[in-house]
Amino acid sequence: MVLHAVNVTGCLLAGFALARLQAIGGETWMRPLVVTGFFGGLTTMSGFATGAIGVGNDRSLTDNLVPALVVVTLCLLAAAIGERLGR
Domain count, the chain: 1
Give the model's confidence band at 73: pLDDT under 50 very low, under 70 low, under 90 confident, else very high: very high
- Do the beta carbons of residue 9 and residue 82 sit within 8 Å? no
Q: Which residues of 42-56 are buried (b: 16+ CB within 10 A; e: fewer)?
A: ebbbeebeebbebee
Look up the pTM and report it.
Answer: 0.73
- pLDDT, one tens digit per residue, over 28-62 is 888 888 888 888 777 776 667 767 777 667 888 78
Domain of 59 in residue numbering reads as 2-86
